[in-house]
Amino acid sequence: MVRQNDDELSCQKYGVPFYGAAWVPPSAAVKEDKSESPAAIRHVVLAGGGGEGSSGIPNAFLVTAFDLESNSLSNPPVAKLGTASDLPYRIAVHPGSEGIVCSFPKSCRLFQWDSGTNTDEPALSLIPSERVLVQLEDVGQQLSSTFNDEGNLFAVGGEDGKLRVFKWPIMECILNEDNAHTSVKDLDFSSDGKFLVSVGSGPGRIWDITTSASLATLPKENDEIFGFCRFSRAADTDQILYTTAMRDKGGSIVKWNTNTWRRISSSHIVRDPISAFNVSPDGKLLAIGTIQGDVFIIRSAGMRVHTVVKKAHLGLVTALAFSPDSRALLSASLDSSARVTLIKDKKQGGTNLWVILLIILLAIASYYAKTKELLPLKL
């Protein structure tokens, strides 16, 4: 297990409490100077604010550049878009270059990427789309939203417990469930887009997109409370569904079989409540954030902790997102900070500690064996 400290991490404060965070798709990013490595500069989008009122804290989207080689986030950000008195909450980034959908207290709105190609100094930014999502006007606060991997389906789950799935971009509603949960906490599509999982109050639910109906339930055990849900993204292995669960002993990750929808295992990870969760695109890593501001990166094989970042943030972690190549983890917090944790291969840090210990033990055993052989000769 790797423990990282502040010197090894990129962390910046921006004066805006964050509720949403994501990596900008490569297809939407600005073309960098050819003298720089194409993979060296990436962009992230952050959303949040102080809400309605006279707190003095702005509501805004921030677009920030991340330099992989120096492990640094730009501050100030490369772009900022204010949203007046409306607080941006959860964001769903289209996997192509069509922009993001953001939930606000009463509706969801579409924003588009602007590469700034008409200016002397191109910079990536967000601009409001002229297109209005009529179907998501005056629907109340949506707590979760997501696109499928192909970007042709979009799902939203509301504070009122209503679940909707639309064909994108035509916004034809193909699933409309008024009482999916008392409130819908989290949603995720399977990698093939055939299934949608939702969690909220009570058991989790699996939805068949083809039939637009509930297919199965994910029962709780004892006093569990499900918080987040994600399908694995690995294409070369059997797909796994993960949910986070809270009990009196702390936070766990539950694995589910996606053929039978039965529980495979439950692994206790932390004592603190889990406030954010995600799965890497390659399916090899999971990440959780806690209300204490800690970040844990876990290997999906064996469910062992790979990296711990204690006090990654001073406030609770609100969002986690792996980079498209699974090499970095973006985290955001209510303390107005964003951080990128580079995921290091343990083998790159030198010989494994256990190997070193084994070599030492073998050397000691060899020494005593030789000493024992020579002892009779001395007598």
Q: Where are the domains of the chain?
A: 2-344, 351-379
Q: What is the pLDDT of residue 32?
A: 46
Contact 83, 91 (CB under 8 A): no
Q: What is the pLDDT of residue 285?
A: 97
- Sign of the alpha-carbon dihedral angle for 179, 195, 332, 122: negative
CA atoms of 114 and 116, how far apart (whole Å): 6
Give the dihedral of Cα atoms 273, 277, 282, 284; nearest 10 deg: 0
Q: What is the pLDDT of residue 22?
A: 98
The percentage of the chain sitting over the pLDDT mark of 70, rounded to a whole number, equals 83
Low-confidence ranges of the chain (pLDDT < 70): 1-9, 29-39, 54, 117-122, 234-237, 346-360, 363, 365-379
CA atoms of 103 and 48, how far apart (whole Å): 11
Q: What is the pLDDT of residue 234?
A: 66
Third-level CATH fold of 2-344:
Methylamine Dehydrogenase; Chain H (2.130.10)
Residue 289, CA atoms < 13 Å, CB-side half-sphere: 28
